[in-house]
């Protein structure tokens, strides 16, 4: 798992160009680094005690979250997964992570401690990507935020 996470993180960093120096000292505080580190740890630690606790502590969509928790030992945890191309327009979406189980699919979008805003269409595109990828599985969108909702949207 660590090799694929590292490769995905390096791919993300390669897009930063002039801002790549922000990743010095381990990328402390950078959203993608933080997401990769946390998701990797949650995938390796005892699932019921750690990832299950995170899911049980989340808010909203109680029935859907309960189904994800029921599958916690079977979930494939992917940090900075592959891009998803939306079927109806070719728009590319890349969530921070996925939890993929036999009956559920969870898209993870995390914001770092500084709470940078979402782009205006980001959540709607990610929701469409989640539904496209979930097929017959229960779709769950997990937003990891530094502060309680409402979420910040750029320009709003």
Q: What is the pLDDT of residue 2?
A: 42
Burial class, 5, CB count within 10 angstroms (exposed 0-12 / middle 13-18 / buried 19+): buried
Is the alpha carbon torsion for 66, 72, 78, 81 positive or negative? negative
Asked if 5 contacts 81 with a C-beta cutoff of 8 angstroms, the reply is no
Calculate the alpha carbon distances from 6 to 71, 73, 110, 114 in Å.
26, 23, 18, 23
101-129: per-residue pLDDT in tens?
Answer: 999 999 999 887 776 788 888 999 999 99
Mean pLDDT over all residues of the chain? Answer: 82
Q: Does the pLDDT value for residue 15 go beyond 50?
A: yes
Q: What is the pLDDT of residue 151?
A: 82
Q: Would you list the domain boundaries of the chain? A: 2-144
Distance of CA 45 to the CA centre of its chain: 18
Asked if 70 contacts 140 with a C-beta cutoff of 8 angstroms, the reply is no
52-102: per-residue pLDDT in tens?
Answer: 999 999 999 999 999 999 999 999 988 877 788 898 878 888 888 899 999
Q: Provide the whole-model pTM.
A: 0.79
């Amino acid at each position: 798992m660590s090799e694929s996470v590292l490769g995905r993180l390096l791919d993300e960093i390669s897009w930063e160009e002039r801002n790549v120096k922000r990743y010095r000292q381990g990328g402390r505080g950078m959203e993608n680094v933080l997401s990769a580190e946390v998701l990797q740890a949650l995938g390796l630690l005892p699932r019921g005690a750690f990832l299950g606790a995170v899911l049980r502590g989340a808010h909203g969509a109680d029935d859907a979250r309960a189904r994800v928790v029921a599958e916690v030992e079977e979930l494939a945890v992917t940090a900075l997964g592959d891009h998803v191309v939306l079927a109806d327009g070719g728009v590319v979406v890349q969530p921070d992570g996925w939890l993929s189980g036999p009956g559920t699919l969870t898209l993870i979008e995390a914001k770092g401690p500084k709470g940078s805003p979402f782009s205006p269409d980001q959540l709607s595109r990610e929701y469409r990507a989640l539904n496209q990828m979930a097929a017959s599985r229960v779709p769950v969108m997990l937003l990891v935020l530094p502060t309680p909702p409402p979420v910040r949207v750029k320009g709003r």
